[in-house]
């Protein structure tokens, strides 16, 4: 096998990914039914149901344009050896292999970030605005982009510098140290996400004393779940959509309820949502998912070191010899089919976990309140009620609403 063969493998993988994704999107679009499900007739009228369908179509259209542009750019970068050109340029600017790789990734990062801004703007200020979701001001939009760019750049430069240093220092068997480093970084981010990242974009306010806090604390005590960090996040500054997130481990466990969630749901529904999340903890879903992710990182690091030993792969991208940044680009292409399969398996596990967490909430609190919460969340966000089974199989980490309601009714 020569460099040309690897080049056509890269091109083939890019085209396959685009075609596969496009076919799934097409099937998903065609699967929409005109009939409102019986379980949701009290929540949807004909006008809102049509609105949900049109919302999905418009979001799908802008996503299709974005993915088509990405395909064209990826193919052009491969066929005309764009990655090799940027690599040679980065190498010409410094003798340091760390700085070379940082320059390479920052050029690509800045390019992709700038390219994505028009799509993000259109999605936020045209589509989300049209359907009544957008609360983001232009000032917030610009600030978010600047903050996001700075944070992602710091992470890219930090991880790149560490990785290149480890590879240069150990020469062989470095995959193990990369694995350890990435695993520790992932655990650190999970532990301190609510403390370090969230406050940069949003304001977290402790949930005030009142009936809701009392009910949450009473439920937590009942099931033996220690939870002290309960916050309200000002999600309404960007969108009217309701949400919540849980993060952290041990004493750093944190729950953040969006102010829009509190506004639109009863206290019983909010506690039921919390009970679902507690179910993930009690069933050890979070622990198992983390272990699986760490194992996956180890496999990726091991395969990456093998990939780094083939100069032919670097030649296919227009580089005379292998280096860290070219190795990462090549590996991202070659690993994509493996990543697709692993992603499908992880989604299968995740959907099973969601059913179990729903059942836990039903058994330990109130299934009816959880059903109401799920219905409201789905209706308020204009979600797709009839996703295609194959699309669900590949992409959904959560079961479709109707499947969850069916399971809860048993």
Residue 47 in tokens: 């006008």
Q: What is the pLDDT of residues 185-238, one digit of tens each?
A: 999 988 888 888 999 999 999 999 899 999 999 999 999 988 778 899 999 999
What pLDDT was estimated at residue 321?
A: 86
Predicted pLDDT of residue 43: 85
Eight-class DSSP state of 247: E
CATH architecture of 204-266: 2-Layer Sandwich (3.30)
| Alpha carbon 340 to chain centroid, angstroms | 14
In angstroms, the CA 9 to CA 16 distance is 10
Tally Cβ neighbours within 10 Å of residue 239.
Answer: 18
Say if residues 375 and 40 touch (Cβ distance below 8 Å).
yes
Reduced DSSP (H G I as helix, E B as strand, rest coil) percent helix, strand, coil of the chain, to 5: 75, 5, 20
Which residues pair with residue 231 across a beta bridge? 206, 256
Q: In what order do the strands lie in the sheet with 244-247?
A: 204-206, 229-233, 254-258, 244-247
Residue 32 has a pLDDT of 86
The phi, psi pair for 87, rounded to 5°, reads: -65, -45
Residue found by looking up tokens 């005309």 in the block:
80
Average pLDDT over residues 45-69: 90
Please count the other Cβ atoms lying within 10 Å of the Cβ belonging to residue 182: 19
How far is the CA of 367 from the CAs of 70, 358, 397, in angstroms? 43, 8, 21
Mean pLDDT of 280-302: 93
Terminal CA-to-CA distance of the chain, rounded, Å? 57
Nearest residue to 39 (alpha-carbon basis) of 371, 292, 347, 381: 371
Q: In whole angstroms, what separates CA 396 from the centre of its chain?
A: 12
Give the Cα separation of 379 and 41 in Å (integer).
11
Confirm whether pTM is higher than 0.85.
yes
Tens digit of pLDDT for each residue in 378-393? 988 988 889 999 999 9
E-state strands within 168-219: 204-206
How far is Cα 248 from Cα 267, in angstroms, rounded to an integer?
A: 24
Contacts of residues 209-215 at CB distance under 8 Å and 24 or more positions apart, as own/partner, are 211/267, 212/262, 212/267, 212/270, 212/271, 215/267, 215/268, 215/271
For 83-93, what is each residue's pLDDT tens digit?
A: 999 999 999 99
Q: Which residue has the tokens 């801004």?
A: 117
Dist. CA 336–CA 9, nearest whole Å? 12
Mention every residue, 6+ apart, whose C-beta is less than 8 A from residue 288.
none
The secondary structure of 247-306 as a DSSP string is E-SGGG-EEEEEHHHHHHS-HHHHHHHHHHHHHHHHTTHHHHHHHHHHHHHHHHHHHHHH
In the chain, what are the domain boundaries? 3-202+282-408, 204-266
Q: pLDDT above 90 covers what percent of the chain?
A: 77
Per-residue tokens: 65: 């344009």
What is the spatial distance between Cα 240 and Cα 380, in angstroms, rounded to a whole number? 9
How much is the pLDDT for 320? 85
Q: What is the mean pLDDT of residues 139-159?
A: 96
Q: Would you state the structure tokens that stand for residue 157, as one six-digit string?
A: 């430069």
What is the bridge-based pairing of β-strands 204-206 and 244-247?
A: unpaired
User: Whole-number mean pLDDT of the chain?
Assistant: 92
Predicted confidence at residue 49, as pLDDT, reads 86
Contacts of 409 (CB under 8 A, 6+ apart): 371
Mean pLDDT of 333-341: 94
State how far the Cα of 304 lies from the Cα of 295, in Å rounded to an integer: 14
CA distance 370 to 283: 18
Question: Which tokens belong to 53?
Answer: 């369908």
Q: Classify residue 216 by burial, with Cβ atoms within 10 Å: 0-12, 13-18, 19+.
A: buried
């Amino acid at each position: 096998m020569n460099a040309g063969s690897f080049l056509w493998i890269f091109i083939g993988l890019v085209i396959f990914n685009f075609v596969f994704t496009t076919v799934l999107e097409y099937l998903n679009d065609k699967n929409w039914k005109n009939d409102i499900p019986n379980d949701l007739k009290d929540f949807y009228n004909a006008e809102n149901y049509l609105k949900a369908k049109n919302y999905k179509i418009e979001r799908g259209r802008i996503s299709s344009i974005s993915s088509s542009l990405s395909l064209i750019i990826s193919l052009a970068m491969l066929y005309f050896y764009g990655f090799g050109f940027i690599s040679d340029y980065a190498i010409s600017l410094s003798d340091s292999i760390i700085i070379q790789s940082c320059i390479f990734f920052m050029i690509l990062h800045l390019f992709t970030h700038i390219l994505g801004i028009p799509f993000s703007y259109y999605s936020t200020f045209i589509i989300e605005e049209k359907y009544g979701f957008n609360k983001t001001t232009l000032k917030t939009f610009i600030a978010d982009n600047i903050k996001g760019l700075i944070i992602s750049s710091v992470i890219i430069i930090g991880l790149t510098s560490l990785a290149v240093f480890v590879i240069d220092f150990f020469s062989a068997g470095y995959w193990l140290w990369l694995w350890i480093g990435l695993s520790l970084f992932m655990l650190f981010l999970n532990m301190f996400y609510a403390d370090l990242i969230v406050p940069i974009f949003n304001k977290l306010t402790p949930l005030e004393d009142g009936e809701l806090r009392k009910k949450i604390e009473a439920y937590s005590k009942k099931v033996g779940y220690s939870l002290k960090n309960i916050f309200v996040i000002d999600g309404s500054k960007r969108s009217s959509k309701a949400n919540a997130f849980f993060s952290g481990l041990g004493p750093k466990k944190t729950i953040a309820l969006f102010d829009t969630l509190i506004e639109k749901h009863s206290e019983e529904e909010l506690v039921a949502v919390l009970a679902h999340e507690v179910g993930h903890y009690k069933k050890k879903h979070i622990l198992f998912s983390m272990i699986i992710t760490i194992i996956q990182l180890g496999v990726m690091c091991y395969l990456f070191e093998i990939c780094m030993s083939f100069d032919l792969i670097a030649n296919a991208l227009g580089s005379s010899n292998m280096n860290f940044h070219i190795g990462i680009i090549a590996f991202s292409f070659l690993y994509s089919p493996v990543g697709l399969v692993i992603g499908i398996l992880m989604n299968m596990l995740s959907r099973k976990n969601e059913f179990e967490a729903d059942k836990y909430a039903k058994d330990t609190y109130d299934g009816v309140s959880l059903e109401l919460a799920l219905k409201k969340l789905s209706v308020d966000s204009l979600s797709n009620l009839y996703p295609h089974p194959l699309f669900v199989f590949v992409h959904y980490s959560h079961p479709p609403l109707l499947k969850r309601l069916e399971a809860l009714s048993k």
